[in-house]
Amino acid sequence: MSINQMSYAYGASKSSIREIAAYGSARKAEIGAENVFDFSLGNPSVPAPDAVRDSIGHALTLPAVSLHGYTPAAGLPQARKAVADSLNRRFGTGYAPADLYLTCGAAGSLSIVFNAIVERDAACEVAVVAPYFPEYKVFIENAGAKCVEVLADPATFQIDVAAMAAAINEHTVAVLIDSPNNPVGSVYSQQNLEDLAAVLREKSATYGHTIYLVSDEPYRELAYGVEVPWVPSIYDATIVCYSYSKSLSLPGERIGWILVPNTNPDHDSLVFAVAGSGRKLGFVCAPALFQRVLIDCVDVPTNLDAYVRNREALLSGLSELGYEYIEPQGAFYLWMKALEPDENAFFERCKKLELLPVPSESFGCHGWVRLGYCVSYETIVNSMPAWKKLKESYAQ
């Protein structure tokens, strides 16, 4: 039998988030959807804006051969120009369409980037800020690098820059961050990112090679009253990975991009490496119809109303009950302290009350759970008696 063991293992073991969601679905079928409070997934509950449907409808009037035909591997020039123009308007930058490579979503972006910068069998390392989205480790390891977890500051969940500095060594090729952060919902401050940038510049000089800052930004547009700093304006050797899965609620359509900012010292080589990485992984091009949707919808504002309402209901409800959490500044996750040190034991007690958060072990740390509030408002409101009962059960 010829089977790649890493592939087998990743296929045979589902992610624990998906396992909880599958349990939730089964449980809903058993006792009724209204009696299960499933906070496990990060699926947008807000529909794509009407502009997306209008754009698709308009695209369908184009000749089918050009509409559905191959695009250049990096994407339609008009779509890349639309994205570059939008970034330049928003961040005062001067990016060209050629700095952008359209992808099949953020997972595609990250996989392509790590396969572009990691040299196999060269003992490369990529540092991530824990807690972190568990698929990061999959993409980093598959590219042939070691995933080095660096715990965030335990009080603020900002990047612990001193810990990051201590973790970086001659093997480090990149640091991966996401802000707004999944699972915590924190947004890294300008100061925090500047401190990180200073360390990266120093370490790059010390070790004689550029240490990239890979900024994964699917939640950029989901921020609640705080500004999300533009990372390439803080550190030159940044690579941005973006997706429209959350901002336009298009997770199934697989559309996003990689930006290699023109500030990057290795810009031209990196652009080639990104293109070659996409090619060797088999991506060919991002889905053509949704490339056209970007041309029309790149500046359509994200509809945050439902998330704002959900966030307020969840925070006020849980805070009244005495739960502790990190106040989320972005994304649609609440990072809540478990009521006992073992988050898995806490999860088992949640489950008995039909409450389904995700234990923090999945994200590389202990003592917390993640609640996705991209659910219906009713789920949040109706879950409160169960959260109350859970809290009381710990008081006894």
- Asked if residue 51 binds a copy of itself (CB under 8 A), the reply is no
Count of positions (residues) in the chain: 396
CB 114 within 8 A of CB 106: no
Identify which of 179, 181, 110 has the alpha carbon closest to the alpha carbon of residue 147: 110
Binding-site size, a copy of itself (CB under 8 A): 88
Which of 17, 52, 128, 298: binder of a copy of itself (CB under 8 A)?
Answer: 52
Query: Which residue stretch of 44-52, 218-226, 325-333, 336-344 sits at the interface with a copy of itself (rule: CB under 8 A)?
Result: 44-52
Query: What is the b/e burial string over 68-91, where b = at least 16 CB atoms within 10 angstroms of the residue's CB?
Result: eeebebbbbeebbbbbbeebeeee
CA-CA distance, 103 to 216, in Å (whole number)?
13
Part in contact with a copy of itself (CB under 8 A); list of ranges 65-73, 177-185, 313-321, 359-367: 65-73
Instruction: Count CB neighbours of 61 within 10 A.
Output: 7
**Does the footprint of a copy of itself cover residue 100 (CB under 8 A)?**
no
Question: CB-wise, 8 or 394, nearer to a copy of itself?
Answer: 8
What DSSP character marks residue 231?
Answer: G
Q: By CB under 8 A, what part of segment 273-312 binds a copy of itself?
A: 273-277, 279-291
Residue of the chain from 37, 39, 80, 105 that contacts a copy of itself (CB under 8 A):
105
Q: Is 38 in the site for a copy of itself (CB under 8 A)?
A: no
Q: Of 369, 371, 323, 324, which Cα lies nearest the Cα of 346? A: 369
Structural contact between residues 73 and 278, judged by C-beta atoms closer than 8 angstroms? yes
346-385 residues in contact with a copy of itself (CB under 8 A) are none
SS3 state of residue 241: strand
Per CB under 8 A, does 10 bind a copy of itself?
yes
By CB under 8 A, is residue 117 in contact with a copy of itself?
yes
Q: Which of 47, 77, 322, 341 binds a copy of itself (CB under 8 A)?
A: 47
Q: Which of 92, 154, 225, 252 binds a copy of itself (CB under 8 A)?
A: 252
What the block records as the tokens of 84 is 């570059």
DSSP 3-state of 76: coil
Question: CB-wise, 41 or 198, nearer to a copy of itself?
Answer: 41
- The CB density around residue 12, as the number of other CB atoms within 10 Å, is 7
Which is nearer to a copy of itself, 283 or 332 (by Cβ)?
Answer: 283
Nearest approach, Cβ of 214 to a copy of itself (angstroms)?
11
Residues 6+ apart with CB under 8 A from 165: 199, 203
State which amino acid sits at residue 172. T
Give least dist CB 373 to a copy of itself, A: 15
Answer for which of 127, 150, 250, 355 binds a copy of itself (CB under 8 A) is: 250
Q: What is the pairing mode between strands 172-178 and 37-38?
A: unpaired
The string over 114-141, giving b where at least 16 C-beta atoms fall within 10 Å of a residue's C-beta and e elsewhere, is: bbbbbeeeeebbbbbbbbbbbebbbbbb
| Complex with a copy of itself: residue 229 or 256, whichever CB lies closer | 256
Q: Which stretch binds a copy of itself (CB under 8 A): 78-86, 110-118, 329-337, 380-388?
A: 110-118
Residue type, 275: A
Q: What string marks each residue from 144 to 183 as x (binds a copy of itself by CB under 8 A) or -?
A: -----------------------------xx---------
> Which member of 182, 249, 302, 329 binds a copy of itself (CB under 8 A)?
249
Residue span binding a copy of itself (CB under 8 A) among the ranges 4-12, 25-33, 91-99, 378-386? 4-12
Helix (H) or strand (E) holding 129: strand 125-130
For residues 193 to 232, the per-residue mask of contacts with a copy of itself, x marking binding by CB under 8 A and - elsewhere, is ----------------xxxx--------------------
| Chain position carrying tokens 């109303």 | 305
Interface pick for a copy of itself out of 34, 272, 308, 327 (rule CB under 8 A): 272
